Structure 1
């Protein structure tokens, strides 16, 4: 299995000049070690829980609530037409208490991808990661021994563990054919998701997943450790601990160009089911003008006269 690059307490300059341009996942050891909430977590879960309850209080939050006997991963229930969880609301302090002291057989709870500034401005400032711009706002994920199914984001992603432990299993974008993506419309989390259960794969149903396994990268993170997940890298996340808290930052400096997923869906509608000769003709057009496989396709026209086939940035 390939190994991830590791950086010990990387600086903002190292991230900006070396880690980010490489467009490869990297472990950022103890990148958040100096943050006060991380230091609290290292001293004990109780201290961190009290701090979070004081910062957020009785504010109502939206949480995922697993169905009875659904297991630790919030995912499909059987086929893609059903989910194994519901969404609900509860006061934050009650959520923390239930996560810390679950009753036997109780449904699992998970706070998913919540903007920290919406919970507490003070907490948002306390969780800021110095290697990133303050314009990139933190999000928080909280639970205990839960799992997030293999998916990808159309964003750059830096995350760090505040409390508990997390195992990230990553696959490069070129493994998409071997990960058996679910229909976009059925996704449990609005992100494209793999149908394969990482910890119990059905190789009869998903035989190409064996190839993806050979390309997997694994990162085990503890409080203060971070990870850089580049744009569209698939990742599965397993959390451990009585109170597991992850903070992450998403950004995409090219959002103004539009949404490639939408463009792909439009192409599926307009191109995929054409007769093969017509589809092949459009494949050549895409290779030429979208992916520029033959160099700059409009070099023969002055830049200011290239219209929609010219540069858009």
Structure 2
């Protein structure tokens, strides 16, 4: 088990740029104890009845998709023999009805587990954001809301930086660093539970012969438990299993790319590289790896550090002009 995560005071970061410079650039998760303890929704969340009334009073009347898991899975949403190859079903219903069903049945033995996640607060609970801001998140980042019973969301990663704020109940996060990917036995990228591939090995018993390399990842796992009012900063590509520990649980999260130079995402580059490189001979892949290191990952610094900056051309700073020039070149190459 790795060392515990550092805990920081959210008040130390009066704006998003300070948080970006002092925390995000390190690429490591941090706990923000009490970061949202003053949110009105946290106060309402101490009672299922109060939370239901609070949310329904702001409901915009939209429909939502709810995960419904049979009692036998005990809230562990995963692959299975059921519809679509999963151990749960999906049901579309008014969000107001989902709130009522989740909170009215919380903690009841022998009942299905219910879960509604990743809903835009702006669309589903308009006006709520005004009283539920976080200074260290850039203005304009739209938060999302997750409500459900005690449950476990399979270990996955996100493509964006994430601040996850626990509003009601307790949450346990089990984290693995991005470079543990080879030891996690990741499932398909095009048949997923809710968007991102998941680790098939996470949660397996020690010594499981199906996943021998997972023992290396198990030793690196970081587990942290958050109470209502706490938050967790999780950099993109960090693997995380999320367990909601109480009969009802609510989380609000903020996703954004803290280091984007434009609209293009790194995953698109990876998928294109899979097409262009993945099935070439090992020697050629090794050669291209050296090129990627030199020009993209730059472990030895800028590839034209031996020349004056004014001679860097396309390898100069992306802004203000090179981003557009490089993108135009890429698009011409893709068009053949």
| TM-score calculated relative to the size of structure 2 | 0.83
TM superposition shift of 1:83: 1.8
Asked whether the equivalents of residues 65 and 108 of structure 1 are also in contact (C-alpha less than 8 Å), the reply is: yes
Distance 1:78 1:204, change over 3 A: farther
Please, what is the CA RMSD of the aligned residues?
Answer: 2.5
Match of 1:99 in 2: 102
Aligned pairs, number: 311
- In 1, the alpha carbon distance for the partners of 2:290 and 2:138 equals 40
Match of 2:332 in 1: none
Q: Which range moved further: 215-224 or 20-29?
A: 20-29
Does 2:175 align with 1:174? no
Following TM superposition, the consecutive aligned residue runs of length 4 or more in structure 1 with deviations greater than 6 angstroms are none
Task: Pick the aligned partner of 2:49 from 46, 49, 54.
Answer: 46
**Cα offsets for 1:165-219 (capped at 9, x unmatched):** 1001111112111111112111212123211242646721111111111111111
Distance 1:19 1:311, change over 3 A: closer
Runs (5+) with no aligned partner, structure 2: 320-336
TM superposition shift of 1:95: 1.4
Does 2:288 align with 1:285? no
TM superposition shift of 1:291: 1.5
- In 2, the alpha carbon distance for the partners of 1:99 and 1:121 equals 21
Task: Pick the aligned partner of 1:64 from 57, 64, 67.
Answer: 67
Q: Secondary structure at the match of 1:146?
A: strand
Asked whether the equivalents of residues 60 and 125 of structure 2 are also in contact (C-alpha less than 8 Å), the reply is: no
Does 2:125 align with 1:124? no
Match of 1:233 in 2: 238
- In 2, the alpha carbon distance for the partners of 1:101 and 1:133 equals 35
Q: Secondary structure at the match of 1:168?
A: strand
Runs (5+) with no aligned partner, structure 1: none
Match of 1:10 in 2: 11
- In 2, the alpha carbon distance for the partners of 1:8 and 1:300 equals 42
- In 1, the alpha carbon distance for the partners of 2:187 and 2:264 equals 23
Matches within 5 A, 1:1-313: 1=1, 2-13=3-14, 15-42=19-46, 44-56=47-59, 58-66=61-69, 69-77=72-80, 82-102=85-105, 104-198=109-203, 200=205, 203-253=208-258, 254=260, 256=262, 258-299=264-305, 308-313=314-319
Task: Name whichever structure is richer in strand by fraction.
Answer: 1
Distance 1:200 1:10, change over 3 A: farther
Distance 1:199 1:56, change over 3 A: farther
- In 1, the alpha carbon distance for the partners of 2:207 and 2:7 equals 32
TM superposition shift of 1:164: 0.7
Match of 2:333 in 1: none
